[in-house]
Structure 1
């Protein structure tokens, strides 16, 4: 038992990807209980919390679940990018405990002072940034250094949420939540644009597909996506720039569709672990187009935000975490059947939640259904990846 715990805390991808899965299920169940209470299906005492449950839900999906996925990814990927040693188990343990303390503080916000909750919750990202900055500086490539900027924006967005909860501001919470989500989407646009065509290309090469049929990236288009992705969350953080941010989102969504047109998603359909990446980025493009349209007056903004939050962030985190867990634990890069089903359920959850936003009747049914699909998708991820995240590294495969 002790050796298993030591193993889990020994590498960033293990503890953080496991924590993301466990917390994703917990947060989904808690949200479902509250939704059921609105219909009188279950009792609920809102006085136990220091914030409205709707805001707890939004905050913890963005700054709880997603930041765990970020922690596992960057602590694992950055040493590979820079050729620096792997992060020591002691640091992994400390920073993981800080992330967990943040989740506990937010959950217990009804009995803690808002300032205490903010201090604990805001501690994780700066420590993560300092650590990866110390590694990136060894080989400071601009395409990697931009993630320090985006992680900093995640922290600023979270700060804006806490400032309103503390009572220092009166109008920064909604901005902070949207900025946090769109910053995650910007990271996915940049990182997904790097790994999705590359992984697809590698798989096609292994299968002997002629090079003329491999995914193609257009350099000017890639630069445009990078620029738009870096600007979008900053526009959202700048109060009063919502319409401009909407236009930026429309441009980024359109550019995302254009770049994906030549990434051979049709060929990737034969490999769930690949198509999951393409699907997550398709949700990114769709969500950006819907959100951009909504903020300039056409469509439902809440539905669009859930396409981004569930379909893009949820879908891409499952795709990247499962692939990284398999690869870094020495296992073949083949998604187990339950994991492949999980990819599909996550996309279905996003679509159900989006459709439910426009329903006059059946809204609560759609909400509960989407929540159930989210829980099932994350549950299948935990079931499929448990050996890779908690077990010994597998023997090298041929």
Structure 2
């Protein structure tokens, strides 16, 4: 019997798409409510922040406008985008059914409760506000851990380590604000976790999608396979980010960040992105990943006074994190709702707005006389990018089911 089993292994059935064929479509798969929520909150949170900057709109209560803005971009918008990705990708990794229906709705409500509570934290009391907000990432971690362990996909535990780090950063953010500390430390930890997740997950999807697209066109100059250079890039990035979190203005931080920038630039070059200009849905992944080495260079300039800390941080947040999440959200929405895997004009324009916003934000620090103008323009570009995403994809997220094969 053992020999027969070895000779004729049981083939795993493909993961079905859109499992729930009854009930609200939006609760059929994790990407639907979380990508929709991420897009809406990306627009609303930025509008509130611009209102606070320009018109003195009171937001965030005792947190203050700047801390509220940092928190809601890192733990509001981006955590929703991450949840949508993980709850959709993990079933592919493990071969298990996706979280859907009532459990998915409960998780979405926890995320939403945190967003509403933090607009006016004093309304229900700081303790309840913090409890609501900090509950989301541990719940997401627990759900994902259960699926990864059940599917015995042990190599994916390193992805969940990033979620765990984000949960710790979120708790630390609240603690620092309450103790009159500087939440920038927690912000750097959160950004570092996202950068590592982009390095790990982007290292899978960017060359994979590129290879598939090039192979369909019978091109032979394909992306290099994962090897020691990729491992070195990730390990050096981890060291560089650890120095940045703890010692953001130390010369050693600059040294490791420059090395990390070179390794990630070499890694990106091996993925042959210059051949994908005809398909912006693939090209944008390379542009987003290119912001990683640029972000490391920006961080390396800070100890020498060539760039301020906020400007350097925004190269990571707007350029790498913002553009990569938008790229993944648009691609996943198209793929999982049966839309063609190509970027139509509105999608391409949304990418363009975010690229321009990523340039304006650090430029504001270099041109202090135009600071408010450039910051406002950067925020406006961010909002327009996600307005276009919602315009094009919200109907698909809410009502469009992927056609079932005959």
- Structure-to-structure mapping, 1:1-398, within 5 angstroms: 6-37=24-55, 44-46=56-58, 49-167=61-179, 170-210=180-220, 213-217=221-225, 219-238=227-246, 244-295=252-303, 297-395=305-403
The more displaced of 223-232 and 102-111 is 223-232
Report the Cα distance in structure 1 between the residues aligned to 2:167 and 2:320, rounded to whole angstroms.
20
5+ residue gaps, structure 1, are 38-43
Report the TM-score when normalising by structure 2.
0.89
Q: Which moved more, 1:56-65 or 1:262-271?
A: 262-271
CA distance in 1, matches of 2:337, 2:369: 47
Give the superposition deviation at 1:252: 2.1
Alignment length (residue pairs):
386
Q: Contact 2:148–2:154 (CA<8 Å) still a contact in 1? A: no
The CA deviation at 1:209 is 1.4
Partner Cα separation in structure 1 for residue 352 and residue 222 of structure 2? 25
Q: 1:245 to 1:78 in 2, by over 3 A?
A: farther
* In structure 2, C-alpha distance between the alignment counterparts of 1:193 and 1:48, rounded to whole Å: 36
Which structure has the larger Rg? 2
Structure 2 SS opposite 1:128:
helix
User: Matched residues in 1 for 2:136 and 2:240: separation?
Assistant: 24
Q: Which runs of 5+ in 2 are unaligned?
A: 1-20
Alpha-carbon distance change, 240 to 269 in structure 1, aligned in 2, over 3 angstroms: closer
Give the TM-score, by structure 1 length: 0.91
Shift of 1:277: 0.4
Contact 1:12 1:72 in 2 (8 A): yes
- Matched with 2:7 is none
Cα 1:345/1:47, change in 2 over 3 Å? closer
Partners of 1:135 and 1:206 lie apart in 2 by 33
Tell me how far 1:250 sits from its aligned partner.
2.8
Q: Which residue of 1 aligns with 2:17?
A: none
Q: Distance in 1 between matches of 2:245 and 2:106?
A: 30
2 CA distance for matches of 1:18 and 1:166? 31
Cα 1:143–1:232 shift into 2, 3 Å: farther
Q: How far is 1:8 from its partner?
A: 1.1
Q: CA RMSD in A?
A: 2.3
Offset of residue 388 of structure 1: 2.4
1:323-380, Cα deviation, whole Å (9 max, x unpaired): 1111111221112210111111101101011111111311111011111111001111
Structure-2 change in CA distance of 1:396 and 1:47 (3 Å): closer
